[in-house]
Amino acid sequence: MKNLLVCGGAGFIGSNFVRYMLKKYPDIHVVVYDKLTYAGNRDNLESVSQDERYKFLQGDIAEHGPVARALEFNRIDTVVNFAAETHVDRSILDPDAFIHTNTMGVYVLLEESRKYGVERFLQVSTDEVYGSIPQGAFREGDPLEPNSPYAASKASGDLMARAYHVTYGMNTVVTRGSNTFGPYQYPEKVLPLFITNALEDQPLPLYGDGKQVRDWLYVDDHCAGIDAVLRHGQPGEAYNVGGENERHNIDVVYMLLELLGKPQSLIRPVEDRPGHDRRYALDNTKTRQLGWKPEVSFEEALKCTVEWYKSNEWWWRKIKSGEYQQYYKAQYGQRLKDIS
């Protein structure tokens, strides 16, 4: 692993992963390849922008030519693909971009990587490909039963990575991470949305009864899990990267409000998300066998995350004043009106 291409490296987990890898591996060269959609943000990579081992390229993973050139010109031996459309609610409003990037894009990236002779390819996938589980925890061999357009498009990329191993003998691996949180997460996902809304004394739109369960994973633990699978995972295999930290949404919201010193009256139960998965849970046994486990306690990680958003208003205020406003209106305008 000398020359690493990090696709989607200007997003939330990708940018944290770039920092993680540059810090951990002194001899590595990292090229970020990112389309800079609404979720991509060069501010996320500001802290490494002066590092000589780092370089940024703007491009779409679904375009053959630019992908081929990025691989060849930089002599890439390893690809880690974070690039994706990632928000379930946006996939319900308009699935088009999800198919473009998460399905076609992953195919193009695999195909160009195969032609060029990339030595290792890691596709970052999600626990959402399994669907919902009332009790117990998903293992990697369980059937994929995705329920949202987002999850279905991610399942497609995940399976394509497997097929490229079986058919062409390509050295691919897949990680399936659980709900991730931490610094630089775009404020459409529930934690940064609720933290920043609460800081502005705005309502927190809680879907349905708030009793859905998510397995929360701190971003540093997610990056370490991806790194472990990248180095030690068996070609053609998928690996769960779960936080081993299941919580009801409402309980997480209470914790947030307590940390922020804000009242519970900010919580607004609103119309539920269609097809809302009730519970996610992952069995990490296979990934733990590679020597990885989640390290950071949820309480500590949530505290750090809240502190980060409190100290980095410049980062999220810029985002919240742009295209975001239209999205917020489309997603929450009627829901919040319905209950007022």
Q: Give the span between the Cα atoms of 195 and 189, in whole angstroms.
A: 10
- Selection from ligand NAD, ligand TYD, none that 214 binds (CB < 5 to 8 A by kind) is ligand TYD
Q: Give the span between the Cα atoms of 68 and 4, in whole angstroms.
A: 14
- Selection from ligand TYD, ligand NAD, none that 124 binds (CB < 5 to 8 A by kind) is ligand NAD
Q: Binder to ligand TYD among 70, 83, 108, 193 (CB under 6 A)?
A: 193
Residues designated as active site: 127-128, 150
DSSP 211-280: --EEE-EEHHHHHHHHHHHHHHPPTT-EEEE--S-EEEHHHHHHHHHHHHT--GGGEEEEPPPTT---B-
Q: Binder to ligand NAD among 78, 91, 101, 284 (CB under 6 A)?
A: 101
CB 117, min distance to ligand NAD, A: 21
203 binds ligand TYD (CB under 6 A): no
Q: Where are the alpha helices (DSSP H) in 119-170?
A: 149-168
> What DSSP designation does 138 have?
B
CA atoms within 13 A on the CB side of 191: 31
- Selection from ligand TYD, ligand NAD, none that 306 binds (CB < 5 to 8 A by kind) is none
Q: Which of 2, 69, 78, 11 is nearest to 38 (CA)?
A: 11
Using CB under 6 A as the criterion, what x/- string covers residues 87-106 for binding ligand TYD?
-xx-----------------
Grouping H, G, I as helix, E, B as strand and the rest as coil, residue 157 is helix
179 binds ligand NAD (CB under 6 A): yes
- Selection from ligand NAD, ligand TYD, none that 82 binds (CB < 5 to 8 A by kind) is ligand NAD
- Selection from ligand NAD, ligand TYD, none that 149 binds (CB < 5 to 8 A by kind) is none
Which residues does 258 contact at the CB level (< 8 Å), separation at least 6?
none
Q: Binder to ligand NAD among 5, 40, 216, 223 (CB under 6 A)?
A: 40
- Count residues binding ligand NAD (CB under 6 A): 30
Task: Closer to ligand NAD by CB, 101 or 305: give it.
Answer: 101
CB 332 within 8 A of CB 324: no
From the number of C-beta atoms within 10 Å of its C-beta (0-12, 13-18, 19+), residue 68 rates as middle
Q: Give the span between the Cα atoms of 329 and 128, in whole angstroms.
A: 26
CB 326, min distance to ligand TYD, A: 16
As a whole number of Å, the end-to-end CA separation of the chain is: 55
Task: Closer to ligand NAD by CB, 107 or 332: give it.
Answer: 107
245 binds ligand NAD (CB under 6 A): no
205 binds ligand TYD (CB under 6 A): yes
CB 127 within 8 A of CB 242: yes
105 binds ligand NAD (CB under 6 A): yes
Residue 151 corresponds to which tokens in the numbers above? 């999850």
CB 279, min distance to ligand TYD, A: 9
- Count residues binding ligand TYD (CB under 6 A): 14
249 binds ligand TYD (CB under 6 A): yes
Q: Which spans of this chain sit near ligand TYD (rule: CB under 6 A)?
A: 88-89, 128, 179, 189-190, 193, 205-207, 212, 214, 249, 273
Q: Which spans of this chain sit near ligand NAD (rule: CB under 6 A)?
A: 7-8, 10-14, 34-37, 39-40, 60-62, 82-86, 101, 105, 124, 126, 154, 177, 179-180, 186
